[in-house]
Chain A
Amino acid sequence: MNDRNTSPTPIPTAATAKAIRPTDDLLRITDARIWYKTIAGEAKVVDGVDVTFYRNEVFGLAGESGCGKSTLVEGVLRLIKAPGYIRSGQAMFYPKDRAHLNGSTDGGIDLFSIPFAQLRPLRWRNIAYIPQGAMNSLNPVMRIEDQITDAIVEHTKATKNEARDKMYERLTMVGLPPSVARMFPHQLSGGMKQRVTIAASVTLNPDLLVADEPTTALDVNVQRAILQELKDIREKLGLTVVYVSHDMAVHAELADRMGIMYAGAMMEIGTTTQIFKNPLHPYTQGLIRSIPDISKPRVRVEGIPGLAPSPLRWPTGCRFHPRCPFAKEICRAVEPKLMPVQPHHVGNGQSTQGRQVACHIYTEQWDQQHA
């Protein structure tokens, strides 16, 4: 294969990024349940998810369509509209910058339950969001600079000039020339619009940036550029990026840690290297097998047999059991909990820190009965 790198100027790699160790919890989600009331019953789109995002990391939220990953982050951002509703759970958020928040202590803020009035100051200053198709939500009749500076002035006490300076700084940070500021959205290509959206969203140094499939509609070249901008931003600003995508290859390039969701629940959590080199959950194994790898010889892959289940009627017990090659009786009956992994299941002296999996294979009963 060709040399994959082009210019001689390197930026910090994944290896050096690890030195910026993810420290404490930024957002801890426990038992999140977000359901939708439909004519046919309750669609349990997010059904008991536990996950923690640390400061200063890139977390890849993976899983196929319908697994609930987009709904989960929409829930955290309180963007769920009827007939959807947050049924239960907590999303404890620990932002650094609290000067503008009224009446909050050093403790966490439960994003699922705080009143809307308290949400607004958090939005954009502490939490930024790039939804799917964000580049198409730029106001077509306003110049880029106006859109961004207006937003800055509205959310902070900055003057117009200060806002303008900040905006230029951010545009340069994502590699866009200052001339972009005076343009209208339709004059920019898809990739440039997306970079504008990213620049705008991190203008106020949020603690958390959530991006939902930001590169799906873009060409590979542009995708590469955008992924690199995100890495860059994370290094320069020290924020946490939660990147939602079904594209495992993108996570391999970008994420420090990953969470794999299926049928509304979290199946496996670990560092990206752990997940790719040693996937534990049978679903994860199936997903990784299905990634076409251009650098390896061609081999036929059978994918994951069966059909994705409906949120109106998740399977009993383990949600994946109807499609799992290793399923046994217990899998049909009991839903496995997301639990830390024992060292002997990974072997080779690999670290198990932070590694969690929701699968009966990795429990003691399994070892006793089936090993």
Chain B
Amino acid sequence: MQFLINSWKNSGKFKFGVIVLVVLVLIAVCAPLIYRPIIGDVSPARPGVFQRWLPASPQHPLGTDGHGRDTLTDFLAGLQTTLFIGFFAGFLATTVGVIVGFISGYKGGAIDTALITFTNILLIIPAYPILVGLTLVLPNKSMVTVALIVALFSWPFAARTIRAQVMSMKEQPYVELAKVTGQGDLAIIFTEIMPNLLPYVLMSFAFSTVGAMVAEVGIAVIGLGPSDAISLGMLINFAGSWGAFTRGLYLMLLLPPAILILIFLSLTLINRGMEEYLNPRLQNVTGQ
């Protein structure tokens, strides 16, 4: 907790990233309040509810798109979906990565070798073609399924980071001091090592979330996105198929990528801000 507060105080990057992210999340959370009045009770992804290509009007502040959906709803729902997939997949990936990385780093020996080899293999094999293949093969493409698939390739990074940190931490003098003070193995894991891992866990989470969203966009732009929701990646795909560029539909073309960039930017800044804070703390302020 202290760590987060200090990151906020110390780093402009962190502040900016957090503010942008909070704003985006708020918008996503309040989104239904905005689009329910417009589209009624149907799912935002359902096509053909309205007439296609209607211009902007009080009922449709941004008009409608080529599939008969309200455009404003498109963007709001897209933000919601992408954020959901990102955070959910990020959370999954980080959890798995932390567990694997921790066991690997702490136990060492044969277990470590086995786990890290597996992790490295996952990192090396080209994720994208496999993602596409999996998505094609699976019949049900709900948001959750997509998130799971995407998380599959995001956890190795977290695992490596955590493993490296655990390996260095378990050699620290304070761990040895805990041992000679009679702390058992479990106590050492949870009270000595884990708390210091938190910053890295958070950083891995931010990184995995971005990775997950990128992966989702990657499969959505070729039309393999979730079938029950709109995501920003899908909107990019639609913009392409509708010939938005030639038609002059700049909003449709530019807004989804812009929102995506904002999300990535805010998460990356949060990451960098935390990293910046971690380093100066190790230096003594009196200039030694």
Which A residues touch B286, using CB under 8 A? 36, 43, 45, 66, 310-311
- B9 cross-chain contacts in A, Cβ below 8 A: 39
B285 within 8 A of A: yes
Report the bound CA distance from A68 to B284 in whole Å. 13
* Residues of B close to A71: CB separation below 8 A: 287
Mask for B1-43, Cβ within 8 A of A = 1, else 0? 0000000011000000000000000000000000000000000
Q: Does B279 contact A (CB under 8 A)?
A: no
CB closest residue in chain A, given B280: A83
CA distance A190 to B287 in the complex (A): 25
Nearest CB in chain B to that of A311: its residue: B286
B13 to nearest A CB, angstroms? 16
The CA-CA distance from A38 to B9 in the complex, in Å, is 12
Cα A324 to Cα B45 with chains together (Å) = 79
A-B contact count (CB 8 A): 22
User: Which of B9, B285, B286, B288 lies at the interface centre, i.e. has the most chain A CB atoms within 10 A of its CB?
Assistant: B286
State the CA gap A36–B286 with chains docked (Å).
8
Q: Please tell me if A133 contacts chain B, counting CB pairs below 8 Å.
A: no
How far, in angstroms, from A45 to B288 measured CA to CA in the complex?
10
* Whole-angstrom CA separation of A39 from B281 in the bound complex: 12
Which A residues from 66 to 99 make CB contacts under 8 A with B? Answer: 66, 68, 70-71, 84
A118 at the interface (CB under 8 A from B): no
Contact B285 A43, beta carbon cutoff 8 Å: yes
Residues of chain A from 285 to 342 with CB closer than 8 A to chain B in the complex: 310-311
Counting chain A CB atoms within 10 Å of each CB, the highest count among B9, B10, B285, B288 belongs to: B285
Residues of A92-121 whose CB lies within 8 A of B? none
Contacts of A84 in B (CB 8 A): 287
Give the residue of A39, A40, A65, A310 whose beta carbon is less than 8 angstroms from that of B288. Answer: A65
- The A-contacting residues of B in range 258-288, CB under 8 angstroms, are 285-288
A66 & B288 in contact (Cβ 8 Å cutoff): yes
Residue of B whose beta carbon sits closest to that of A38: B285
A310 to B285, CA, bound (A): 10
Residues of B within 8 A of A310 (CB): 286
Q: Nearest chain A CB to B219's CB is how many angstroms away?
A: 42
A66 to B9, CA, bound (A): 26
Q: List 22 interface pairs A-B (beta carbons < 8 Å), by A numbering.
A: A36-B285, A36-B286, A36-B287, A38-B285, A39-B9, A39-B10, A40-B285, A43-B285, A43-B286, A43-B287, A45-B286, A45-B287, A65-B288, A66-B286, A66-B288, A68-B287, A70-B287, A70-B288, A71-B287, A84-B287, A310-B286, A311-B286
Further contacts, 9 of them, CB under 8 A, given A70-B287, A310-B286:
A36-B285, A36-B286, A36-B287, A38-B285, A43-B286, A43-B287, A45-B286, A66-B286, A311-B286
